[in-house]
């Protein structure tokens, strides 16, 4: 396989991991977040700092990175999740800008120069790059998907679904809205942290703009395009939005025009996303499997 394709596939994989996290927050628990790139960035920066300043290996640092990102997610989620809908969207945008500004202006985080010289990941004495790194990302993506699948069948996941549908009814069934929104937020940000760590060790040079607001928009587009609340939606979304810019490369200046067109068409014809309830794919599958259990 050529290096170009592997690069794209690797980035798609990383995006899919981060988008799966966002899907837990937006799709499962129904809490809009337009600041997910902030947590992607927190993951990447913690991994980069632990590798370059503390000299930890990727494997030693990874649990720390995930915990750090999830803790910051918990901390920022506490005030954010007390507001709803549009206000939550604005608050999370705010979080994104603040986190980006902290990376950019505090010298400890490398300032405008970012952090370079991040080592490659070693596994069994092999330096992971190219195909092997892609396989590592794929492995983590499958892990994340397995977790999402499990969570969607757990009582905690069911509580999140109920909150998404009707918060006051959910509360009347013993579900604490704050607690379960936070749970979804922590799970989602932990996945963003994992994605960030992989990104840092893949690109090996990170700067604040890698995690700016447009990245959050891209991540949300991935989730919406693929189908919010579905298991495979974020993967399908990441593949399409990762591959399209390459396909449209000759039209690089007009790329955003196509994004917009695509989003408008989605909103008009497939509002639940490509894999969502009532979508074309969903209908075809229901026809093929008339005994569908759900």
Partner 1 sequence: MNSTLLAVKAVSKHFGGLKALDQVTFEIRPREILGLIGPNGAGKTVCFNLISGVYKPTAGEIIFNGERTQGKAPHQIARRGVGRTFQIVKPFATLSVLENVLVARGISRYNHLGKIWSSWKSRAEIRQALEVLDRVGLADLAHRKAALLPLGNLRRLEIARALIVGKRLLLLDESFSGLRHEEILQLEQLIRNIRADGITVLLIEHNMRVAMGLSNRVVVLDHGRKIAEGSPQQIQQNERVIEAYLGRKGHSHAA
In whole angstroms, the minimum distance from the beta carbon of 75 to partner 1 comes to 18
| CA dist., res. 196 & res. 190, Å (int) | 10
Q: Which is nearer to partner 1, 94 or 156 (CB)?
A: 156
Give the count of alpha carbons within 13 A of 70, CB side only. Answer: 16
137 phi/psi in degrees, rounded to 5: -65, -40
Nearest to 226 by CA among 29, 27, 38: 27
25 versus 208: smaller Cβ distance to partner 1: 25
CB 31 within 8 A of CB 81: yes
Q: How far is the CB of 132 from partner 1 (least distance, A)?
A: 33
| Nearer CB in complex with partner 1: 85/165 | 165
Considering the complex, what minimum distance in angstroms separates the CB of residue 293 from partner 1?
8
| Closer residue to partner 1, CB minimum distance, 268 or 293 | 293
- Contact in structure between 250 and 53 (CB atoms under 8 Å): no
Closest CA to 25 of 187, 179, 197: 187
Minimum separation from the CB atom of position 163 to partner 1 (A): 9
Binding site for partner 1 (CB under 8 A): 150, 153-156, 158-159, 161-162, 165-166, 168-177, 179-180, 277, 293-294
Of 148 and 200, the one with the shorter C-beta distance to partner 1 is: 148
Q: How many CB atoms lie within 10 A of CB 55?
A: 10
What sign has the CA pseudo-torsion 114, 133, 197, 41?
Answer: positive
CB of 121 to partner 1, least distance (A): 30
């Amino acid at each position: 396989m050529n290096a170009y394709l592997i690069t794209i596939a690797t980035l798609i994989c990383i995006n899919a991991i981060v988008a799966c996290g966002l899907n837990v927050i937006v799709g499962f628990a129904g809490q809009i977040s337009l600041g997910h790139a902030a947590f992607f960035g927190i993951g990447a920066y913690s991994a980069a700092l632990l590798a370059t300043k503390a000299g930890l290996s990727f494997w030693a640092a990874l649990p720390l990175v995930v915990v750090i990102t999830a803790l910051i997610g918990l901390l920022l989620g506490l005030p954010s999740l007390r507001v709803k809908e549009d206000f939550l969207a604005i608050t999370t945008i705010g979080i994104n800008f603040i986190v980006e500004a902290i990376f950019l202006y505090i010298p400890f985080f490398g300032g405008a120069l970012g952090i370079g010289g991040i080592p490659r990941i070693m596994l069994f004495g092999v330096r992971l790059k190219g195909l092997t790194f892609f396989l590592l990302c794929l492995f983590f993506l499958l892990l994340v998907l397995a977790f999402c699948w499990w969570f969607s069948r757990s009582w905690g996941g069911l509580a999140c679904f109920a909150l998404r549908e009707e918060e006051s009814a959910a509360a009347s069934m013993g579900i604490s809205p704050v607690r379960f929104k936070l749970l979804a937020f922590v799970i989602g940000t932990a996945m963003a942290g994992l994605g960030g760590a992989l990104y840092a060790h893949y690109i090996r040079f990170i700067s604040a703009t890698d995690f700016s607001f447009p990245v959050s928009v891209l991540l949300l587009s991935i989730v919406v395009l693929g189908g919010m609340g579905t298991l495979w939606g974020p993967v399908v979304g990441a593949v399409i939005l990762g591959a399209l810019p390459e396909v449209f490369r000759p039209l690089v200046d007009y790329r955003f025009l196509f994004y917009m067109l695509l989003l408008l068409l989605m909103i008009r014809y497939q509002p639940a996303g490509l894999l969502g309830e009532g979508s074309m794919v969903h209908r075809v599958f229901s026809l093929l499997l008339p005994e569908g259990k759900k």
